[in-house]
Amino acid sequence: MNIDDATAAANDRLADRDDMIVCVNVDKFYGDFQALKGVTATIKEGEVAVVCGPSGSGKSTWIRCINRLEVHQGGDIVVDGIELTNDLRNIEKIRSEVGMVFQQFNLFPHLTVLDNITLAPIWVRKKPRAEAESMARALLERVGIPEQAEKFPGQLSGGQQQRVAIARSLAMEPRVMLFDEPTSALDPEMIKEVLDVMKELARSGITMMVVTHEMGFAREVADRIMFMEGGEIVEVGTPEHFFTNPTEDRTKLFLSQIL
């Protein structure tokens, strides 16, 4: 892999931080199709990593392996020092430390916005209800929709739903946030409101791993961009390196199609 000066600088900046997510030779098969081919990467604490690539390249599969929505079949995944194995306790711990935002929002349609957010803090983190609710209201304030607390998800627009989903994940006070194409299912005019929330989050210093096609977002806030194709990480670099001077042909081709 090629690293230019900017990337080296970025690496230096990140080098002294702790490892947050470590993946070593992660393999994943669906029947006879290999979705991940020995993915190896480390994401540091407080880093914002954007994963991009053509559809079917395995980026969603990878991110879903990290909180074991999919079970990887080879290699190792370590999140915040906890290895992701068959150990029930480790799975529980990792899931309560890793928040995830889905493409289809996946809010619980039978619960109000407030209940959606407080469910996990109350029943997983064992918080008193009053405390959980006040935190939920604060989070709704933070994502810009404090007035929607009593509504049901079905009554909100797509952008609002996705912001509720972000608030729901944040309510668990996660150390890592995973975003699986958070804007792909949104109408164009709603993408910005979600991206704004994500930018604000990125600046707050939380570790983020984002699968997205929003190159503007990547350029603005990403510490590093990873390009995947065919189940492998093809190229890793800072935004400047990635957009101005990509080394791999496959990256160039992808960028020419998307920009």
Whole-angstrom Cα distance, residue 182 to residue 210?
8
Under rule CB under 8 A, residue 96 binds another protein: yes
Whole-angstrom Cα distance, residue 123 to residue 30?
33
Which range touches another protein (CB under 8 A), out of 54-62, 70-78, 141-149, 187-195?
70-78
Under rule CB under 8 A, residue 244 binds another protein: no
Residue 219 CB, shortest distance to another protein, in Å, is 20
Cβ(79)–Cβ(97) under 8 Å?
yes
Measured from the CB atom, the residue of 96 and 184 that comes closer to another protein is: 96
Burial class (CB in 10 A: 0-12, 13-18, 19+), 43: buried
Under rule CB under 8 A, residue 222 binds another protein: no
Which range touches another protein (CB under 8 A), out of 39-47, 53-61, 200-208, 237-245?
39-47
Under rule CB under 8 A, residue 168 binds another protein: yes
Q: For residue 18, what is the DSSP state?
A: P
**Strand, helix or coil for residue 244:** helix
Under rule CB under 8 A, residue 243 binds another protein: no
Among 134, 156, 217, 236, binds another protein (CB under 8 A): 236
Under rule CB under 8 A, residue 83 binds another protein: yes
Cβ(99)–Cβ(176) under 8 Å?
yes
Under rule CB under 8 A, residue 56 binds another protein: no
Nearest to 120 by CA among 171, 59, 72: 171
Measured from the CB atom, the residue of 88 and 259 that comes closer to another protein is: 88
**Strand, helix or coil for residue 202:** helix
Q: For residue 3, what is the DSSP state?
A: -
- Side by side, the strands of the sheet bearing 224-229 are 98-101, 176-180, 207-211, 48-52, 224-229, 232-237
Give contact residues for another protein (rule: CB under 8 A): 1, 3, 11, 14-15, 19, 22, 24-25, 27, 29, 31-34, 40-42, 44, 64, 67-69, 71, 73-74, 76, 78, 83, 85-92, 95-96, 98-100, 102, 104, 106-110, 119-120, 122-124, 126-129, 154, 168-169, 172, 236
